[in-house]
Amino acid sequence: MEYHSLMYLTVAFLGLLSQCLTRLTPRVSFPMGSPGRLLNRFSSADVSNTTMLLLSEDQNTLYVGSRDAVLALDVSQREAITMKNKLDWSPSETDLEQCSMKGKKMSDCPNFIRVLQFLNATYIYACGTFAFSPRCTYINSKTLTMTSLKPEEGRGRCPYDPYQRNTAITVDGELYTGTVADYRGNRPVISRHLSEGSHVDLKLDDTLGWLEDPTFISSSFIPSEEKIYFFFSEVGREYDFIDKFIVSRIAQICTTDVGGQRTLQRRWTTFAKAQLLCQSDNELPYNVIQDVVTLPPPEGAPADDTLFYGIFTSQWSVNSGQSAVCSFRLSDIKLVFSGNYKVLNRDTLRWSTRVQEKVANPGECGLHNASDNTLRFVKENFLADDSVRPVGRSLTMVSPDQYYSHLVAQRVKIANKRDYTVLFLLTESGYLHKAVLLEKGAHIIEEVQVFEKPQTVKNLQLSISKSMVFVGTSEGVVRVPTANCSFYWNCVQCVLARDPFCGWDPTRRACVDATNTEASLGQDVDTGNVEEACNSGPLITRARFGPNKLPPSTCPAGELVSVSLNEVVRLQCPAASQLARRVWERPNSRLSPDLYLNLEDGSLNFVATPATLGHYLCVATENGYQQTMAIYQVKQKGSPTPQTAASANQPQTHQSSVTHAAARPGMPTSMVNWPKRTETRQRETQPKLPPSNTRVTTGLLGRDFTMWAEESGKKEVQLRNGESLLLSRGPCYLKELVVVSVLLVLCFSVLIMMLLYTIKQRCRSRTAPQASTPTRDSNRGTSVEREALRGSQSVRNKRNRQAMHSGQENGVVCSEAPKGSNGHLPNTPF
């Protein structure tokens, strides 16, 4: 025990000293309602808490367990989600009154569906909390009607509390659940119900302490092993800590288990559990599991290559708000369960490594026919001595600023026959992150906002054949396409996205689905190398304006910006993505920080002077590739402008603050709309312009803009809160205002300090000791010091009278001597 305690204390200390985690920034962000990421939503005024999702075998119907109802939604059409049937299943008024009399809130007393599983091709088995009195029923999946008017008792199959987490899975028509079996939630149980044939209903032995206040997360059936694995978190009794230490567990049972003949009758004989350790070297462990998903092995690979991806958080405040994703291989899990087991001393309630001879292997299938001696051994030895460690003994991904709650995983085979794993992770803030796992770490391709309000109970369901992710929330059901290839308007953006679902087709000159084609596509998921992947595709010219790089006579005209001298000019630079770094350049000169101000939104601000007139270029760099995003020509109003073929087609503006962006179809949401400009391009075709009412939204750097494409010759920028920012803004004197404000603050600070110093001196003169009043300091001083004090007392009295007279004239009166909190004069010893 001392060893484990010391080990975790050491890990905790090292975790505090560990290096900062790199922030995983989604490349593109789509706020709710963005046209670049169209989603389908289902919601109804009389339907709420649509959190339990069950997809039919043909994946055309989505069954939803909600509050007081079970829904059948038609998801076969890509344009919309419609309701096919609805089964109302709510408690009676008597049930609600009894629930309220138990001290429960009326808002928690309805019937919240918490189990929704297929028994066969015809029937669905559903269980609900039913006013804190669980009930279960059979539902015909075709007609969505109950087969019996009287529901069954749901104790041990469904939780009482709608906020209590549980898990359920059906295998061969039998229901396996992990939940609590009493009203108070003190009897956790893993059990089998609806047993058929020679099987009998089984559960855990309540007296053994096999579970310690668990929170059930998920369950998975592995056919090749004939085992069901349960994932949960519980109190780790094997660690002797002052506070309760939470550990993540994986437990197993065999579907062929029928219980013992004498020992462990109607109890599991194959139950065993082990710790899931999501931890990297020299870091605090992520010890609280939040969700787990099973990823089958690649085609042709053995079942031992099955992976379990889990989201973990930490109970320590130092990791508050962080999430980690770990993956565990089935072969490693089997190895831990076939190893040594700990033994529990029933007298001291302490765990220790087993030292006696191993009689049997706990968790092994077929133990129901074993002897009583063997069953007693597995009854006392059910905790594996070793822990299941993640693949590669490292974390799959870590997010220091996002709290993930749910995930689904998909293995994607691209055109070059390579496999990539894509994770869809749901954040507590309401975004769905799409991440691809690479050798150098995770890359978040995009984030899509799916709900606004925080959700306590959510669910994800992946449809691989439909290429959809379904999100169940209390607000409704949201359908998110797994791929969004048409959003990327050229080869550069298609490759830089590094999306395994998407690749650039040079023949069609479009970003297409890479999983449904055998053609040679421009795609580089691992490195995002644009130069190699886009040899046959259009490339954006990367002209540079740096010093001595481009003669002034050859500068492209760019977008004309006419200004008056001494006006503040703001040049806007659109961003290709949130990962792009934008840099401004001028021909044959450098941008001095004394004259130019670069803001976080990528814009360049400066005062128009003869020295700052001329050409400006904004270059965006992402993954080593540079793109020209904007070219401007700033000139003084009234000065002649050379008429060239390029500049004659451009509209001239007369504003000092202009916002420009490229209006291209599928423009990323982190870009703004800008008029057409004469930028040199190589081998690029003109894409189709979007309709005039196309709306593009950006969530870059926490600021959400709404841009409207050119309509009737008017270009307007509208902020989210409704405030409009027209291109015809007046001059801005931001720099001068800042200088004047700083000077005023300094002057006021000096005046206040002088006034406080004067008041302090006057108050101190009033509290100075008089000649007739002995003080502690005067008593301690020598005779020479006391003589000097008396000699200067007359001078002090004179100054005090002058100060009092002056203070009364100025309205300053010190009524008493200031004292510290200890009752003595400030800054004097006591």
Looking at every residue in the chain, the average pLDDT score rounds to 79
Range scoring the smallest mean pLDDT among 45-59, 80-94, 233-247, 479-493: 233-247
Q: Cα separations (Å) of 333 from 162, 306, 382, 791?
A: 32, 10, 15, 92
Taking the C-alpha atoms of residue 333 and residue 228, their distance in angstroms, rounded to an integer, is 13
**Strand, coil or helix: what is 423?**
strand
Q: Between 14 and 99, where is the model more confident?
A: 99
Name the pLDDT band for 424 (thresholds 50, 70, 90).
very high
| pLDDT for position 761 | 79
Span of 10-24, 136-150, 163-177, 653-667 with lowest mean pLDDT: 653-667
Cα–Cα distance measured from residue 200 to residue 268, given in angstroms and rounded to the nearest whole number: 11
* CA dist., res. 256 & res. 720, Å (int): 59
pLDDT for the residue 353: 81
Please tell me the predicted confidence (pLDDT) of residue 519.
76
pLDDT of 642 strictly over 70: no
By C-alpha distance, which of 434, 449, 448 is closest to 498? 434
Amino acid at 306: T
pLDDT confidence of residue 294: 98
pLDDT level of residue 830 (50, 70, 90 thresholds) = very low
Q: What is the mean predicted confidence (pLDDT) over 209-217?
A: 92
- Residue 273: its pLDDT value, please? 95
Q: Dump the DSSP string for 16-70.
A: HHSPPPPP---SEEE-TT-TTS--EEE--TT-----EEEE-TTSSEEEEEEBTEE
Q: pLDDT at residue 181 above 70? A: yes
pLDDT(816) > 50? no
Q: Is residue 177 over pLDDT 70?
A: yes
At residue 22, the pLDDT reads 60
User: What's the helix, strand, coil split of the chain in %, to 5?
Assistant: 20, 35, 50
Q: What local confidence, expressed as pLDDT, does residue 400 receive? A: 85
Query: Domains, the chain, ranges and CATH?
Result: 481-533 (3.30.1680.10), 552-732 (2.60.40.10), 745-809 (no CATH)
**According to the per-residue pLDDT averaged within each range, which of 250-264, 335-349, 584-598, 760-774 is highest?**
250-264
Contact assessment for residue 617 and residue 628, using Cβ atoms and an 8 Å cutoff = yes
Which is more confidently placed, 416 or 659?
416
Which of 521, 520, 468 lies closest to 497, judged by CA? 521
- pLDDT for 590: 83
Q: Which two tokens stand for residue 85?
A: 């049937």
Tokens 């079970």 belong to 70
Section 446-465 average pLDDT: 90
Q: What is the DSSP string of 299-335?
A: TTS-GGG-EEEEEEE-SSGGGTT-EEEEEEEHHHHHH
Least confident of 230-234, 701-705, 780-784: 701-705
pLDDT in tens, 741-771: 888 888 888 899 888 888 887 776 555 544 4
Q: Are 557 and 617 in contact (CB under 8 A)?
A: no
Which residues are within 8 A (CB) of 624 and not within 5 positions of it... i.e. 6 or more apart? none
Q: Is the dihedral of CA 294, 296, 302, 307 positive or negative?
A: negative
Distance CA 188, CA 174 (A): 20
**Against a cut of 0.85, is the pTM above it?**
no
Sequence-distant (6+) residues with CB within 8 A of 341 are 272, 354, 362, 381, 382, 383, 384, 385
pLDDT at 718: 35
**Of 55-64, 202-211, 331-340, 480-489, minimum mean pLDDT range:** 202-211
Task: Determine the length of the chain.
Answer: 830
Under the banding of pLDDT at 50, 70 and 90, the label for residue 324 is very high
CA distance 480 to 678: 37
Q: Can you tell me the mean pLDDT for 714-735? A: 41
Distance between CA atoms of residues 520 and 517, nearest Å? 8
Site of tokens 């087709």: 505
| Residue 13 backbone dihedrals phi, psi, to 5 degrees | -65, -40
Q: Give the residue with greater pLDDT, 570 vs 185.
A: 570
Model confidence over 520-531: pLDDT tens digits? 889 999 999 999
Identity of the amino acid at 226? E
359/380 Cα distance (integer angstroms): 12
Cα four-point dihedral sign 524, 525, 530, 536: positive
Structure tokens at 701: 């750097």
The residue whose two tokens read 């008593």 is 779
Q: What is the dihedral of CA 73, 74, 77, 78, to 10 degrees?
A: 20
Do 64 and 71 form a contact (C-beta atoms < 8 A)? yes
Cβ pair 144, 122 in contact under 8 A: no
**Per-residue three-class SS string for 3-29:** HHHHHHHHHHHHHHHCCCCCCCCCCEE
Any bridge partners for residue 118, and if so which?
124
E strands, 450-543, in order: 459-463, 468-472, 477-481, 502-505, 510-513
- Mean pLDDT for 118-134 is 96
Separation of first and last alpha carbons in the chain: 51
140-148 own/partner pairs: CB under 8 Å, 24+ apart: 141/56, 141/63, 141/72, 143/85, 144/70, 144/72, 144/84, 144/85, 144/86, 144/87, 145/87, 146/87, 146/89, 147/123
| Phi, psi angles (nearest 5°) of residue 720 | -60, -40
pLDDT score recorded for residue 205 = 78
Helix then strand count (H, E) for the chain reads 10, 46
| pLDDT, average across residues 470-480 | 94
Place of tokens 């939803």: 64
Percentage of the chain with pLDDT > 70? 74
**Runs of H (alpha helix) within 527-624:** 530-533
H or E element at residue 758: helix 734-766
C-beta separation of 811 from 766 below 8 A: no
Of 138-152, 310-324, 640-654, 742-756, the poorest mean pLDDT is in 640-654
Mean pLDDT of 558-587: 92
Q: Which two tokens stand for residue 442?
A: 């995770």
In this structure, which amino acid lies at residue 136?
C
Give SS3 for 701: helix
User: How many whole angstroms separate alpha carbon 512 and alpha carbon 525?
Assistant: 14
As beta bridge partners, residue 614 has 634
pLDDT higher at 544 or 191: 191
